[in-house]
Amino acid sequence: MWPQLSPRDSRLLSAVAKGDSKQAKFALADGADVNAVSLDTTMLGWAAQRGAAAVVPLLVAAGASPDQPGPDGRTPLMHAAEHGKLKAIGALLAAGADVNRRGVPAPVARRTVHGIPVPTFDHMHETGTPLIMAAKRGRADVVKALVAAGADPSIADADGLTAHDWAFRSQNRQVLSLLRRAAPGAKSGVVQFVAAARAGDVKAVRAAIAAGADLNAVEPDWFPRDGSGARDINDARAGTTPLMAAAGAGHGDVVKLLLDAGADTEILSTTRNRSRRTALAFAVEAGHADVVRQLFAAGAKLEPADSDVSLIHEAAEAGDPEVLRLLVAAGADVNEPLQRSTPLHTAAKQGKPPAVKALLEAGARADPKDWERKTPLWEAAFGGYPEMVKTLLDAGADPNAKDQDGLSPLTAAVFGATNIPGSRKPYVEVARLLLDAGAEPARARAELAKERIRSKDLRRIADMLDKASVPSKRRPPQPRKKKATSHTAEAYADAPVPDFRDRAGAAPFRNAVAQLARTLKRAACPFEHDVPGAAFFKAKKARVERLIADRREKLLRSGVLIFRCGEALDPDGDDCLALLPTADLYEAVAAVGTNAANYGRGSAGVIAGLTEIERECPFVLTAIAFDRVEGYFLSTPKSPTRLARKLYDLNDDIGPIDQVAQKLRKDRRLYLWWD
């Protein structure tokens, strides 16, 4: 915590803050400490902040040093410059303050709250001179006064930024003009140098080099957009050298100037939230082949130490074939794996046919599989890129190579045509190319049959699949009828609500009902739907969930099912708990009457859909209501995507299949709600 001021020091601070020299004299005469600190600022610092010019000589005469920084690292003159107090600046300079005195780095943590160090970021970068402070705040009048007093514009703060840099970044033309007139021959600051290189300003870059600017200076990896001092750690302009900026912008003439002057090609960027990369990586990422050629000629390395960027993948994503050829000629591996994905996968996903062709010509394998066992052809078909599909097929890609969910490129094309917004015409050509190459149509045809075909292009695809699947004079194969079991739609189609009265007399069920009544201190109550032999209890939702978690497995072993059947959303809301003398979840669904009427399914359809889901991945239901079921899967699904499709078939409001599959990989929760 900050030290508490004594009563005498408090009186002095009050007088200083008000600019009352008479009261300040009395306080000093009474023994107040002229060097006392309040809120990280000295007494003289407070006088400078408040513009109390009349108090400054009194404090200096009493022993205050005009150059002594406070715990915040700033000198009194810096305080006066920040707040634009010209009279206080004059008084401090008259008292002997050093106009070029830099602040000192403030501690990262000066105090604690509940024993935890609290970082103070307000003054972390206030380590410059008073001139830098004035330029940062855009105070032209203060800049003019300090320059007249001999302030040096070339002095940098702890981050290497000069007053020129701060004024340039905030584009304060008045301050920039004053600084340039004050030091016409001063070398450019790093911010101006990098900006000139990025803009392709050959004249400014040449002048900066001639003035002795640091060729390899890195713009700080944070920088405020204005004079507020606020950080911007996501600014892509920061963390780069002039060479990186010029390379990324494709300014070959500036790159040549910098290389001829001796700029280092192997320095890594420091931009936060991005991979550390060299000037070569910036040029590759932007697809500037001429600059890539220049950098290689200057000795740039393909894989510099400490860089975590794959140049061949960056080039594949950018899609420039010439850049890819240059990288391959320099020794890049066209089959380099990155998270089990190859450059050919990257180019296919990004829809870059020239890059795909260049990679294949350079020796890339046509049928590599990524971590989901998808091939580049699968990605090209899903994206709807006919030219790329043809290139890959001509290179020998397998039209029937399936991913981990058993989906071929042709099925991927169907999914792309029905799910990706935009024209479906490219998918017609993709389907034709794949079928001509011998793609199996059965699965794709079955998937398309589930969709509502409303466009001519989808109809054309469907016709092609039908023609490839069924000879013209033969009747299409009929789906095999499933044998009716106790858990199929046929068994429950018109069946009445199960009658549990005979089973309700069994001892395990009667004991379970009695124990629950004692626990809740209330008797069973009627349910909104008549379920003979069932027992229902009302309780708060949170308690219902706890009871289910504690008793479900034990009751299930005795042939009793416990589940939540109310509609409460709030944990403190009133809910309903059900007990049934059965261990069959589907009997419970039939008893409650769970249905998806708005989706064209009765309770029989819901049961049939849940049965399909259970075959894919067994589950437990903890809540069964009129329009909702809730529970969890007993294990992580072997194929999250296949399970997601079955869930989607039962309720297409759960979200996109890929997002549902992603959730299933992380969370085993089962929740279906048909509103």
Paired tokens of 333: 């591996």
Give the pLDDT score at 115. Answer: 46
Going by pLDDT thresholds of 50, 70 and 90, the confidence category of residue 268 is confident
Q: Tell me which of 216-230, 312-326, 381-395, 630-644 is least confident.
A: 216-230
Give the pLDDT score at 472. Answer: 43
Answer whether residue 178 shows pLDDT above 90. no
Give the pLDDT score at 221. Answer: 55
What's the mean pLDDT in 294-309?
81
Give the separation between CA 426 and CA 386, rounded to whole angstroms: 6
Give the pLDDT score at 112. Answer: 45
Q: Tell me which of 360-374, 595-609, 619-633 is least confident.
A: 595-609
Going by pLDDT thresholds of 50, 70 and 90, the confidence category of residue 452 is confident
Q: Tell me which of 301-310, 360-369, 656-665 is least confident.
A: 301-310
DSSP 265: S
Q: Per-residue b/e over 507-527, b at no fewer than 16 CB within 10 Å? A: eebeebbeebeeebeeebeeb
Give the separation between CA 378 and CA 376, rounded to whole angstroms: 5
Closest residue by Cα to residue 74 from 54, 45, 51, 114: 45
Give the pLDDT score at 183. Answer: 65
226: left (phi over 0), alpha (psi -120 to 50) or beta: beta
Answer whether residue 486 shows pLDDT above 50. no
Give the pLDDT score at 360. Answer: 95
Answer whether residue 487 shows pLDDT above 50. no
CA contacts within 13 A on the Cβ side of 137: 19
* Predicted model pTM: 0.53
User: pLDDT per residue over 521-561, tens digit each?
Assistant: 888 886 655 688 888 888 898 898 899 998 988 998 889 99
Given a contact cutoff of 8 angstroms between Cβ atoms, the answer to whether 486 and 586 are in contact is yes
Give the separation between CA 134 and CA 78, rounded to whole angstroms: 8
What's the mean pLDDT in 651-666?
82
Give the pLDDT score at 271. Answer: 62
CATH topology of 130-182 equal to that of 366-472? yes
What's the mean pLDDT in 4-28?
88
With vertex at residue 645, the alpha carbon angle to CA 643 and CA 650, rounded to the nearest 5 degrees, is: 100
Phi and psi at 578, nearest 5°, equal: -115, 145
Give the pLDDT score at 305. Answer: 58
User: pLDDT per residue over 508-520, tens digit each?
Assistant: 999 999 999 899 8
Give the pLDDT score at 620. Answer: 92
CATH 1.10.150.120 fits 366-472, yes or no: no
Q: Mean pLDDT across the chain, nearest whole number? A: 82
Give the separation between CA 516 and CA 459, rounded to whole angstroms: 59
CB atoms within 10 A of CB 102: 20
Phi and psi at 624, nearest 5°, equal: -135, 110
SS3 37: strand
- Cα distance from N-terminal residue to C-terminal residue, the chain: 56
For tokens 């990257």, name the residue: 346
CATH number of this structure's domain 7-119? 1.25.40.20
CATH number of this structure's domain 130-182? 1.25.40.20
User: pLDDT per residue over 114-158, tens digit each?
Assistant: 444 444 444 444 678 999 888 888 888 998 999 889 888 878 777
In percent, the amount of the chain with pLDDT more than 70 equals: 85
CB atoms within 10 A of CB 96: 10
Given a contact cutoff of 8 angstroms between Cβ atoms, the answer to whether 203 and 169 are in contact is no
User: pLDDT per residue over 321-376, tens digit each?
Assistant: 999 999 999 999 999 888 778 999 999 999 999 999 999 999 999 999 988 889 99
Q: Per-residue b/e over 465-491, b at no fewer than 16 CB within 10 Å? A: beebbeeeeeeeeeeeeeeeeebbbeb
What's the mean pLDDT in 269-279?
71
Mean pLDDT is highest, among 144-158, 166-180, 214-228, 313-327, for 313-327
Sorted by where each begins, the domain ranges of the chain are: 7-119, 130-182, 366-472, 489-673
Secondary-structure percent of the chain, ordered helix, strand, coil, rounded to 5: 45, 10, 45
Three state DSSP letters for 327-387: HHHCCCCCCCCECCECHHHHHHHCCCHHHHHHHHHCCCCCCCCCCCCCCHHHHHHHHCCHH
Paired tokens of 538: 């009302």
Give the pLDDT score at 228. Answer: 42
For tokens 């099912």, name the residue: 561
